[in-house]
Structure formats: structure tokens, C-alpha cells
Amino acid sequence: MYGDFASVYDRLMGEVDYPAWAAHYQGLMAARGVPPGARVLEAACGTGSLSIPLAGHYQLLPGDISQEMLSRAALKARDLGLQLPFVSQDMRSLSAHRPVEAVVCGCDGVNYLLTKTDLRRFLKSAYGVLAPGGVIAFDLSSFYKLSQTLANNTLGLQEGDIRYLWQNAWQPRSRLLSLQLSIFVRQPEGLWRLIEENQTQRAWQQEEITQALAATGFEHIACYGGLSLKKPAPKDQRLHFAAQKPH
């Protein structure tokens, strides 16, 4: 996953307001006592679009399992004069040289955990790297979004020198959404390059995530709808979770 796709990922995500997303995470963490300048480990950082605004407020330790995504992220950070320690790291087995004050995972990272075992491994490893009183904060695409909004739909985009066809297949019994992307990028000589990407996401229920956090040992567990501090509405597309390791 995310091989050649890394080269066009930022183009496809161009309308996302990452500074607002990062500001929401700042608020979630500040409300639980994480101060500016704290050590924050970011799991599944992708191309670093969320990392860059977060790095202006924390000692950020970003990581991802995809070398291609990390290469893009490091290049973007260097272009902005940032020295960020991007590391190759599976979100199911997080590690840090010393405990951190927070763990953040944005942009659907948890949706790519396809089994309860994978979810438990992520939460357990996050718990392990957190200092006492440390905070975990992450978001995911809601069950409603995957099962109803994306579902079995086909989406298309035409923008300048890029075209894509996005076909989805929803599997209600397993609650998995298969995403098949065919992306065409016009090359300088006029030919079109095809990039094919297949991904799978898991639709997690709010209660499943809350119960898994509690079973891991986290407390003060909260869930919010969208970029708000309100309880999720039935048709919210994105959920944010925050919880704390006991002191």
C-alpha cells in the first residue's frame, strides 16, 4: 500500500484543512494537560501534512510504515526548513527512546487496523510509550461514512493533469470497505501514467473503540463528532477520540 500512490496523495488531498485539523488536536491535548513543547509521537503520519502544523507546537516524533510516504514527508519538511525525525514504524508496535506526553494518529490511521487484534496492539503500544498522565488522541472515518457515504459508490475526479476513478465495495458482514483507485497522471511528453492502488478500511463502531480503550487501561475517554467538542451525531463523517493514561 502507498507505493507510487505517495507521489499523488497530496494532490488528491489538496482541499483538506490540515492546520484546522492540527488545531483541533492541540485543543484535545491541551484540555488534558499536554502543554506546548511536549513530546508527541505521531503514528501513521503519511506524507506529513498533519505533522508540519503540529511540529510548530510540539517536539514531534512522526512515523509511518510506508517508506514512500516518509520520503515525501521528509522532503516537504526540509522545504519548509523543518528538521523532523521521521522514522519507519508500524503503528501496532510503537516505540520511543523515552516516554512521550501524547500519541496522535490522524487521517484514518485507525481505519486501516482491520482486526480487533490489530486495534488492541495499537492501543497497547501507545499505552506503553506514554508517560503517566499521557494522552492518546486519534480520529477515524465513521461507520456511517464507510457503510453509507462511500459504500458501493464510484467516484471520479478530473483536475488539470490528473484523473482518477475510485470504486468502493462494502462488505457488511466483515464491515470492511475495499477501495480501488485508478489514477492517471499526464506526463511531460503527453502520455498518461497509470497508478493503481487497492486499500481496505475497517468500519469501527464508537462503542468498540471506547471499550478497547478502557480494556487497555485508558481513562477519561471521550468521543467527538467532526472538528467539534460535541457528541457525535448519527451522520457525522468523522469521529475523534481522546483518552488518558492514569497518573
Residue-wise pLDDT tens digits, 25-71? 999 999 999 999 999 999 999 999 999 999 999 999 999 999 999 99
At residue 141, what is the residue type? S
- List the grid coordinates of 191: 502520455
Closest CA to 216 of 141, 140, 143, 117: 117
Over residues 70-95, mean pLDDT: 95
**Positive or negative CA dihedral for 124, 128, 134, 135?**
negative
- List the grid coordinates of 154: 464510484
pLDDT exceeds 70 at position 2: no
- List the grid coordinates of 227: 472538528
Closest CA to 162 of 143, 181, 144, 149: 181
Which residue bears the cell 475510485? Answer: 166
> What is the pLDDT confidence band of residue 158, given thresholds at 50, 70 and 90?
confident
How many C-beta neighbours within 10 Å does residue 97 have? 8
Of 71-75, 123-127, 160-164, the least confident: 160-164
> What is the pLDDT confidence band of residue 8, given thresholds at 50, 70 and 90?
confident
Over residues 87-97, mean pLDDT: 97
> What integer pLDDT is reported at residue 160 of this predicted model?
82
> What is the pLDDT confidence band of residue 148, given thresholds at 50, 70 and 90?
very high
How many C-beta neighbours within 10 Å does residue 112 have? 18
Average pLDDT, the chain: 94
> What integer pLDDT is reported at residue 132 of this predicted model?
98
> What is the pLDDT confidence band of residue 4, given thresholds at 50, 70 and 90?
low
> What integer pLDDT is reported at residue 239 of this predicted model?
98
Residue 227 DSSP SS3: coil
- List the grid coordinates of 127: 499505552
pLDDT digits (tens, 9 = 90+) for 115-141: 999 999 999 999 999 999 999 999 999
**Positive or negative CA dihedral for 231, 13, 118, 54?**
negative
pLDDT digits (tens, 9 = 90+) for 219-247: 999 999 999 999 999 999 999 999 999 99
Q: How far apart are CA 125 and CA 117, in angstroms?
A: 12
Q: How far apart are CA 120 and CA 212, in angstroms?
A: 7
> What integer pLDDT is reported at residue 9 of this predicted model?
76
In Å, how far are 14, 30, 41, 67, 243 from 76, measured between CA atoms? Answer: 14, 27, 19, 14, 30
> What is the pLDDT confidence band of residue 198, given thresholds at 50, 70 and 90?
very high
